[in-house]
Structure formats: structure tokens, C-alpha cells
Structure 1
């Protein structure tokens, strides 16, 4: 075990479709079905990962979670839950059922979404009001899940008194296992919501120091309320036996990404700022590698692989995240030998990160490679 990775960490994997060696490109994407997801869940469970994040997309996360219970024994499931898509009482019933049937292996990823996304489901709140609604929603959910039958009356959420139900499948048992809440929120309203509600605060990856500074700010807000949070981040992974092999794999991955995809992703990450108009120096950015990367995209080329390394072994990847003007996202990779990656995880751990949601593509193959190479170098917690 390396000195930098001696503190305990939770490692989660990614349970989602599509899959494939380069799933953001049509020629690198596999058609995935129920059988593929079952095999992926079995792999995550058998290899000893703490659990898995269920990606949002075509498949409903709660449905996938329930479908995978019989194929797994230990892993936790972290599906996204958007407040308002179920009534809080119905969600409490679903949660209680999964908790009892799984032996307490359910977690919730609290996601408040985008205005247009939720509007498509019939939930119409502006940004800050969405957090107000969410706070009430989860308060009502917890009241029901604790077995309290009283009426709930809030500004946005109202539940009538619930009758006593003593049937074997009652959603209000006398001692329900609580579902721990994970989630994120970066705006002032999002942070205020998070520190009151969450057990584990998540953020997309950044350099260890910048991510640690963000967690310190959030932790200070939580401390004012007498609360203490755990912290987690989301990283993709290219781990190989040697650092040279890992960077060669990263270069191959970048090479299989089309210029059009790279421009589309970079433009999206600039939050509405045109790629043509954006310059190094805007928003406080001064970096020659950023300038070279932008120049390459404007010239119809992809950036050089190491120009996208923002910290030792921390690579922004084909999605070109990592410019300070954007929030780095799931495109951020750890690239290196198992020793390199363990050292970086240790560095993130020193800055407060205790949970790492990882993925590499293809998902089953890279889950095996990660367990073989990286697990022996880390102190993995099961709880």
C-alpha cells in the first residue's frame, strides 16, 4: 500500500448504457440491453466495488436498480432522483421496498436538474424555487419514510394524513432503513440546499487543490448548521501497468474522437460563449496549453494529448473539460500507472474526497483492469 493512499476510500463504478470503447461516437458505441446491464452489475458486485452510479438517460434508474437486486449481493445502487417525478410518499414506498429487498443497499443521487429538462416531465419551477421545492419534497419524503402518518403541509408539497397500513408490504414499517442522500449544487441556492439535506456532497472533478477548496467552502456552510458532510467526485480512468501505456491509450481515445464532437463538447462547456470568440485570458485564464488547444480546434485539428493535462495524471479528455471558465465534468480522467493513479487518489483524499465514482470504457473490461491493478494499492472501505 502506498503512503499517499493509506486513508480509506469508497470506489464506485458506472452502471449505464450505452457502452463501448468510445461511446460518444457512433462507430465506438455498442448496442446495450438488459443482459449487458446485468453482466455489468454482476461484475461490479463480484469485484468488490462499493457500488455504482446509475447514469441518467433512456433507462429509469429506480427500475434498473430493482431489476438488478437479484443478480447482486453487496453493491450499493445510486440512481438519480428528480424531486417531483414521484410524489414524496410514493418515493418513500419505493425506497422502503428496495431497502428491505436489498438489505439496505439503496442510495439516492439528489438531482435538481435543468429548467427545460424538468418542464418536459411536467415540473415547472425556476432555478431558486426548484431548490425550495426540493427542500420541502425531501422533508416530506423523510417524514413518510420514518413512518410518520401526520399531514404534511408546505408551500409546494401537501400530503394528507396517511392511514395505518399493517400489511406485509407496508411502505411504513416501524424501523425503515434510511436512504443516505448524495448530490451536488454549486450555485448559492444549490449549496444552501446541499448543506441542509445531503449526507455526501458531490462535485465534478477538478485539480485536487481546487476541488478541496470548494469542499472547504461547502464544509464551512455545513458547519454553521452543525452538520458535517462526506465528499465525493466523478472521474473517468485510464489505468495501465505503466504510465507510458496509459498515455498511449489516452492518445488513442482522443484520436478516435471526431473534431466535430470535440467542438460540440467544448462549445457546450463554454456556457454559451462561442468557441471563435473565446480567448485565453478571458475570465482570468492564462495558459499556453489552453491557447494551443483552442487554436487546434479552430484549425480543424484535435489538441495534443498532453496539452489537456491540467495536473499530473489529471486529463480533461476528449470532452476538453478543465478550462477554468467551465466546471470540469465527467470528462475528467485519471491517466497513469496504478501507482500514479493511487497517488492522485491519495492527493484527492488529502483534500477531503472520500468517495470516487469511476468509469472507463468498455465498462466491464475496465472494471476488471481497475480492480486488478488499483485495488491492491488502496484502502477500500466497505461502509
Structure 2
């Protein structure tokens, strides 16, 4: 892997369901393993750095392992919740996948919400989750390196493993490390991230604000003698012209029901109802936000350009995003190939090296993106 100034890594999204507008039942396709296999082959052959594996019904580690033989170069980034596997078992899984794939596994470290982890039987208060996670990943790395002495901590106890040919014995060859990617925005989350991760991720924001966040996190890592890379997540509408791109954005907005828009917007209202949310209480003085709220309260969707929060950066059917209270997972880059490439280079200048992209339908848009965008960027494969 190179570290050229200006070079970027572009990852795609490997998930089901799929479809033109999968956030709406009418725009969602039924998908199966055959569809995931076709999608993985496209991501691999087109030259994407790898793919984020969506969380949901399918287990990410299982999907990654199942698709190894269908691909030859792409990396797989499945989510891993600490505590769902023994760290020793996860080390065994990682060693197997790394050997069989030629080192194409990445881990997306997810500490999750309290309710999510509780559903899996893991119960830790918010800040304690990070203490447990740090201990978990330290134990995982020690086992994966081949250490076999007893590991005893506050949350974990692994007995000394026999130095024989058993499944938990030290690996016979030097293991290929699995890079750790992940996020964390709270003070406890950032402290956890800077001591553990190789690549720190954040939802999209304006280039300046995202760059400032990454600079703060990077400085904390450097104080520990560590150096992080940074990445973000965008949906994507790239077309030969601006007019075509924004016409498609408007079409996606019109295919979104008012009920879905209200539901998606609710994630960004800090627990308030649509009627009860007052932007001024959060120091937000943007007439576009007021227009969005007024449209939803009147039973309409906002105008497409009222959702543009930076040149070519669009909050999409999620409707609000970072101009209301926080970064949003549904943020889009929208525009001509030249303008989208310019935005990516702008984000790169603010420290973003890794871009996790998606557009629906996933296979069709993966091809379109590779055709239009790849020739305009310095790509790190």
C-alpha cells in the first residue's frame, strides 16, 4: 500500500437489501447470496479498495468468508462487536481468513448502542463499553500474535493456551495483522479510538468541520505516539453533468414518502418530536433548516436544493444531517464527475484518505462510479 499525498482509497458498500430506493418497500428488491456474490465480483473487478459489509440479517464475518473465493483483491470490512466472540476465537477466525485471502480482512470495530449489545447478551454501561473493548482488543491482538500465556484483566480471563498443535496454539507462521477501523465521538469513544484504531471513521460533515475533528483526534493519537488514518461515508450520485445528477437527486427525493422522511429526520432531532423541535435551542440559525421543518410539518418534502449544505454535499432523503444537530449516515455527494472528484480532493486536503461510498442500485452505480470518477482521481488500490 502506498501513502502518496493526495491518493485516496474508495470502498463500496456490500449489503442487502438493494434496489433503486431500498429505504422504501416499493423500491426494495429481494436479494440472496447470488446477488451478494455478483456485487462482490463487481467491486473486485472494478478496482475498489474494498467494501464495507452492511450490518443486518447477515453476519458480516460469514459473508466475508463466503465471498473470498469469488474475489481476488478487494478487502472486506465487516463489523465486529467486542464480546460476541471470545478474543481467542476471533483471533483464530482472523488468522484463517487472512491466510486464505492473502491478507484481505479489515475489522470495523463497533461498540454499538446499549440496546443493540443487550440484544446480543452483552451488558455494559456506555463508558464501560470502551474499557471492555480496549481490554478485548488487547487480548485479541496478543493471541493473534501467537502469545499463549494467561491473560487476566478486569473483564476477561483467558487461561494459558497449550503450546501444541491444538486450535489455540501459537500460529506456525507470522500472522498478517488485521487493520482496525472504527469510530467514536464521545470523549470516552475518542480516547478508545486513538489508543486502538488504525483508521478513524466519522459520518460526513463539511470539509472544514470534518478536517477540524480529524485534526483534534489525530493530535490525541500523536500524544500517544500513534498515527491514524481517517475516513468518512457518503452516498453518491455521480453523472456526466450537474443537471443529470441533481435531476436524479430530485427523483430520489420524490420517491421518498412523507412518512419515511419524518422517520428518517427523527434520528436527528435529539429526542424531540417534529413539532417540538426548535432549531434556535441548539444555536441553529439557518433559513434552510426552517424551510425543511415547515415543509415536513405541512405534509410536504423540502425542495431538493434546500438540502444542499455545501457545494455538491446533499443530506438526501434523510433530510437533515449535520446542519441540524449531528453528522448523518445518509449524506450524499451529488454532481458531475468533475465536481464530485473536486469535492473528494477537497476532503482529502482536510485529511480524509478513505471514502466508503454507495449508490443504489449498488451494482449499477458501482459501475457508473468506476467509469466516471476513477479516471479523475489518484487511487490507492
Match of 2:317, SS? coil
Q: Report the equivalent of 2:142.
A: 143
The answer for unaligned runs of 5 or more in structure 1 is none
State whether residues 204 and 232 of structure 2, in contact with CA within 8 Å, keep that contact through their aligned partners in structure 1: yes
2:82 counterpart of 1:71 = no
Following superposition, the deviation at residue 282 of structure 1 comes to 2.4
TM-score, with structure 1 as normaliser:
0.97
2:20 counterpart of 1:10 = no
Q: Report the equivalent of 1:224.
A: 223
Deviations 1:335-367 (A, max 9, x none): 000001000000000000000000000000000
How far apart, CA to CA, are the structure 2 residues paired with 1:113 and 1:322?
Answer: 20
Deviations 1:126-145 (A, max 9, x none): 10000000000000000000
Following superposition, the deviation at residue 155 of structure 1 comes to 0.1
**Counterpart mapping for 1:180-329 below 5 A:** 180-329=179-328
State whether residues 310 and 322 of structure 1, in contact with CA within 8 Å, keep that contact through their aligned partners in structure 2: no
Q: Report the equivalent of 2:340.
A: 341
The answer for unaligned runs of 5 or more in structure 2 is none
Following superposition, the deviation at residue 171 of structure 1 comes to 6.7
How far apart, CA to CA, are the structure 2 residues paired with 1:38 and 1:171?
Answer: 33
How far apart, CA to CA, are the structure 2 residues paired with 1:314 and 1:324?
Answer: 11
Match of 2:321, SS? coil
Following superposition, the deviation at residue 329 of structure 1 comes to 2.3
State whether residues 312 and 339 of structure 2, in contact with CA within 8 Å, keep that contact through their aligned partners in structure 1: yes
Match of 2:245, SS? helix
How far apart, CA to CA, are the structure 2 residues paired with 1:37 and 1:171?
Answer: 34
How far apart, CA to CA, are the structure 1 residues paired with 2:90 and 2:130?
Answer: 18
Match of 1:29, SS? strand
How far apart, CA to CA, are the structure 1 residues paired with 2:170 and 2:272?
Answer: 48
Deviations 1:158-194 (A, max 9, x none): 1000112337996723300000000000000000000
Q: Report the equivalent of 1:54.
A: 53
Match of 1:310, SS? strand
State whether residues 93 and 171 of structure 1, in contact with CA within 8 Å, keep that contact through their aligned partners in structure 2: no
2:90 counterpart of 1:91 = yes
Q: Mean alpha-carbon deviation: is it higher for 364-373 or for 163-172?
A: 163-172
RMSD in angstroms over aligned alpha carbons? 1.4
Match of 2:21, SS? coil
How far apart, CA to CA, are the structure 2 residues paired with 1:173 and 1:97?
Answer: 12
How far apart, CA to CA, are the structure 1 residues paired with 2:52 and 2:139?
Answer: 25
Match of 1:380, SS? coil
After the TM superposition, which segments of 4 or more aligned residues of structure 1 sit over 3 Å from their partners?
165-171
Following superposition, the deviation at residue 284 of structure 1 comes to 1.0
Q: 1:353 to 1:71 in 2, by over 3 A?
A: same
TM-score, with structure 2 as normaliser:
0.97
Following superposition, the deviation at residue 226 of structure 1 comes to 1.1
How far apart, CA to CA, are the structure 2 residues paired with 1:113 and 1:168?
Answer: 30
State whether residues 321 and 332 of structure 1, in contact with CA within 8 Å, keep that contact through their aligned partners in structure 2: no
How far apart, CA to CA, are the structure 2 residues paired with 1:348 and 1:301?
Answer: 33
Deviations 1:83-105 (A, max 9, x none): 00000000000000000000000
Count matched residues.
378
How far apart, CA to CA, are the structure 2 residues paired with 1:22 and 1:277?
Answer: 29
Q: Report the equivalent of 1:155.
A: 154
Q: Report the equivalent of 2:115.
A: 116
Q: Report the equivalent of 1:24.
A: 23
How far apart, CA to CA, are the structure 1 residues paired with 2:239 and 2:313?
Answer: 15
State whether residues 268 and 321 of structure 2, in contact with CA within 8 Å, keep that contact through their aligned partners in structure 1: no
